[in-house]
């Protein structure tokens, strides 16, 4: 078994790509696809155990991967870790700011500490990684940066902290695309909707039930797959996107286009792209599928 990518074999050969949050979910999927297409990948995260598990998978599949555990929210740790990556492997060709995290809560119930933790994870960390990769490598050699943001084009009840952070990343992407263009750096973002990824299992039961119900509000009447997000990120990293910078590509099933005056008929006409041979359905969705068949 191997990753069934839509991209040609060897597309990313000899390129070094760093993926934050590479120990699970979408980051894990992207690492598999990039290495399957010839890239050398460095996956980072806070837990070495998770990184080791993904690295073992990739090596079993014949890919080239390295790991480095650190906290993207800590400036000195980011500076030192980027330097370590360059010392080990040379110039960084691509950076994917994928690491993130949040919890479900109404704004009135979020403490200052909870707010600041999510902002530092989903905004400050992406800024620090982008800045250091630019300073230490891409300023001299060029490159491509892609940040994972979110489907927050209207509002995000229960997730106001991450909505604010992700909106900040969208504007950071636009601003950096102007300030860093003369260095040969392209910087874009991908905004996933609800993706059937392991991150769904991190939410509390009430939030999981709200998520399950949202499938019917998606025009394509399903959740996205990790592979569909990965394909979008790889396109923006690839030479085919050489004239694209400062933009955000939505991977959301058309959800922001819905209108209160139109009820989308139920259907099953949207077939998901499933190319990741090691993909698994989140436990919260497996449970519901099991209940539906009993």
Identify whether 283 is part of a domain. Answer: yes
Q: Which tops the pLDDT comparison, 202 or 177?
A: 177
**Cα(242)–Cα(237) distance, integer angstroms:** 8
Identify whether 75 is part of a domain. Answer: yes
> How many distinct structural domains can be found in the chain?
1
Please compute the mean of the pLDDT values over residues 215-236 and round it to a whole number.
96
**Cα(11)–Cα(112) distance, integer angstroms:** 45
Q: Evaluate whether 184 touches 142 at the Cβ level (below 8 Å).
A: yes
Calculate what percentage of the chain has a pLDDT beyond 70: 97
pLDDT at position 292 over 80: no
Q: Which two tokens stand for residue 191?
A: 């905004």
pLDDT at position 84 over 80: yes
pLDDT at position 293 over 50: no
Q: Evaluate whether 78 touches 129 at the Cβ level (below 8 Å).
A: yes
- As a whole number of Å, the CA-based R_g of the chain is 19
Lowest mean pLDDT among 101-105, 161-165, 196-200, 275-279: 196-200
Identify whether 7 is part of a domain. Answer: no
Q: What is the span of the domain harbouring residue 288?
A: 16-293
Identify whether 289 is part of a domain. Answer: yes
What does pTM read for this prediction?
0.94
**Cα(200)–Cα(193) distance, integer angstroms:** 12
What was the pLDDT predicted at 154? 86
Identify whether 224 is part of a domain. Answer: yes
Tell me how far the alpha carbon of residue 73 is from its chain's centroid: 17
What was the pLDDT predicted at 287? 60
DSSP three-state, residue 170? helix
Identify whether 268 is part of a domain. Answer: yes
- pLDDT by residue (tens digit) across 55-66? 999 999 999 999
Q: Evaluate whether 76 touches 61 at the Cβ level (below 8 Å).
A: no
Identify whether 2 is part of a domain. Answer: no
Identify whether 4 is part of a domain. Answer: no
Q: Evaluate whether 294 touches 218 at the Cβ level (below 8 Å).
A: no
**Cα(232)–Cα(251) distance, integer angstroms:** 8
198: domain CATH number?
Answer: 3.40.50.720
What was the pLDDT predicted at 152? 87
pLDDT at position 188 over 60: yes
């Amino acid at each position: 078994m191997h990753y069934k990518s839509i991209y040609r074999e060897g597309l990313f050969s000899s390129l070094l790509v760093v993926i934050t949050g590479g120990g699970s979910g979408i980051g894990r999927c992207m690492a598999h696809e990039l290495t399957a297409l010839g890239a050398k990948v460095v996956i980072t995260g806070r837990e070495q155990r998770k990184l080791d598990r993904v690295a073992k998978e990739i090596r079993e599949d014949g890919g080239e991967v390295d790991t480095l555990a650190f906290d993207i929210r800590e400036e000195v740790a980011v500076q030192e870790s980027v330097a370590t990556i360059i010392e080990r492997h040379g110039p960084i060709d691509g950076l994917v700011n994928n690491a993130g995290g949040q919890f479900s809560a109404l704004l009135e119930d979020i403490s200052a500490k909870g707010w600041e933790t999510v902002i530092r994870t989903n905004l400050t960390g992406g800024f620090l990684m982008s800045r250091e990769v630019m300073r230490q490598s891409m300023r001299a050699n060029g490159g491509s940066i892609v940040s994972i943001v979110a489907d927050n084009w209207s509002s995000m009840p229960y997730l106001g902290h991450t909505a604010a952070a992700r909106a900040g990343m969208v504007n950071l992407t636009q601003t950096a695309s102007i300030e860093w263009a003369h260095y040969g750096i392209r910087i874009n973002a991908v905004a996933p909707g609800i993706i059937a990824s392991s991150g769904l299992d991190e939410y509390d039961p009430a939030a999981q039930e709200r998520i399950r119900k949202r499938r019917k509000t998606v025009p394509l009447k399903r959740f996205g797959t990790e592979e569909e997000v990965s394909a979008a990120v790889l396109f923006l990293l690839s030479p085919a996107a050489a004239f694209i910078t400062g933009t955000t590509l939505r991977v959301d099933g058309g959800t922001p286009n819905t209108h209160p005056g139109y009820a989308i008929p139920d259907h099953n006409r949207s077939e998901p792209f499933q190319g990741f041979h090691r993909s698994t359905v989140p436990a919260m969705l497996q449970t519901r599928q099991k209940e539906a068949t009993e």
